[in-house]
Amino acid sequence: MRILLSPNQPSRHLLLSSPPFILAGTETSASVPFSLRKDEALKLISTVPETMLPAVKLSPGPVVFSGTNLRSRSASVPSVSSLKPSKFVVSSLRPLYLAPLDGPKSAEQKPQRQPLDFKCAASAADDKESSAEVVPRSEAAQKLKISIYFATWWALNVIFNIYNKKVLNAFPYPWLTSTLSLACGSAMMLVSWATRLVEAPKTDLDFWKVLFPVAVAHTIGHVAATVSMSKVAVSFTHIIKSAEPAFSVLVSRFLLGETFPVPVYLSLLPIIGGCALAAVTELNFNMVGFMGAMISNLAFVFRNIFSKRGMKGKSVSGMNYYACLSIMSLVILTPFAIAMEGPQMWAAGWQKALAEVGPNVIWWVAAQSVFYHLYNQVSYMSLDQISPLTFSIGNTMKRISVIVSSIIIFHTPVRPVNALGAAIAILGTFLYSQAKQ
């Protein structure tokens, strides 16, 4: 960077024009006016706003003042390494050179101090002279943050599926179980908003109107998946749910008229074939459980479509968006849960569960309700930080972790050909995410 100072200019401001700097991942250039005396010019760098130069370490260079009433003198440019870094730390190895714009004239300087006007133009030095190094510390922090999101998301999902299956084995009422999951999450977020732990979203009537079809699809998908897990093994439900990309492509193609590249269609073959092989060879196959997983796939595809189309331009964070979705889904689901099962069935089933399992069933119900909300909340928060492709790959890896952990914990019998079908379906899901890019 070259800094050129010219005294006695008509303008009574020092104009600093800098080359583009990397700020928070974007390029920014700025010009900042100053009024300085001669002695203040030596503090030029320290007066540059941090918004323009987050943190710069500059090697010192000579400073030369010349003009009609100035005597040649040299000084060192003060270091600005003490500036507090912001999102990016810019480390420059380029020296600073201070020289007059109108030639190296020198003269005696009068002893009295007088205000001088300067015009400062900053330009980058020749690349052969120096080089700049950008150290994106926040990039590493962002990667660590995303890794923590993914690990937390997978862990919470595994824990939820384990406790959910335990509850459904002891208390086989999926409609009530689904309702309790939504009620717990809604209560948690309402308390967080009331206590200002989380800033409440600013919503209007239009927001809730747009959210309604999303909530309907979410409610159907949630209940259908819970019904499926009440009838079949957790691993089988998630194997069938790995076919969701196939439903997404088919719905988008035949109902919305969207077209996809040939590799996308080809990636559906291992997904469909793997799920079919796993279903045919499943030892404890149940048609209700199979259809529940299939309906869940279809419902979540429509949820994603409605959400993508209706929520454009809505400035609501992922956490608050899912909270609003849970509240509306709870309102929709509650009357249907009462109609499908009812308090009498719940009371009889609860007494039976307490007699067979004991007080542990209370902990299981509470745990599955809390962890259901937490894993969904973290998934929506991670979606704020990553691309849809990365999220899709993470979702595929999540299913693998759930399938493997559930087989180990519940000692689910698996035939080799059944495991092969699951592996083919998971591989197809991964290939789909790559082809969709």
Q: How far apart are CA 359 and CA 350, in angstroms?
A: 11
Which pLDDT does position 69 carry in this prediction?
Answer: 38
Distances (CA, A) of 31 to 20, 22, 53, 121, 395: 11, 15, 12, 9, 46
Residue type, 157: N
Q: What is the DSSP annotation of 55-119?
A: S------BB---STT------BPPP-TTSPP-SSEEEE-PPP-EE-TT-----PPPSS-----EE
**Is pLDDT at 326 greater than 90 in this prediction?**
yes
What pLDDT digit, counting tens, does each position of 154-165 carry? 899 999 999 999
Mean pLDDT (the chain) is: 75
**Is pLDDT at 238 greater than 80 in this prediction?**
yes
Which pLDDT does position 239 carry in this prediction?
Answer: 92
Q: What is the pTM of this model?
A: 0.67
What pLDDT digit, counting tens, does each position of 346-372 carry? 999 999 999 999 999 999 999 999 999
Does an H or E element contain 2, and which? strand 2-7
Q: What is the DSSP annotation of 371-382?
A: HHHHHHHHHHHH
What pLDDT digit, counting tens, does each position of 273-291 carry? 999 999 888 888 999 999 9
Q: How confident is the model at residue 192 (pLDDT cuts 50, 70, 90)?
A: very high
Domain ranges of the chain: 1-135, 144-435
Does an H or E element contain 253, and which? helix 244-254
Phi–psi pair at 124, nearest 5 degrees:
-75, 140
Q: What is the DSSP annotation of 286-333?
A: -HHHHHHHHHHHHHHHHHHHHHHHHSTT----HHHHHHHHHHHHHHHH
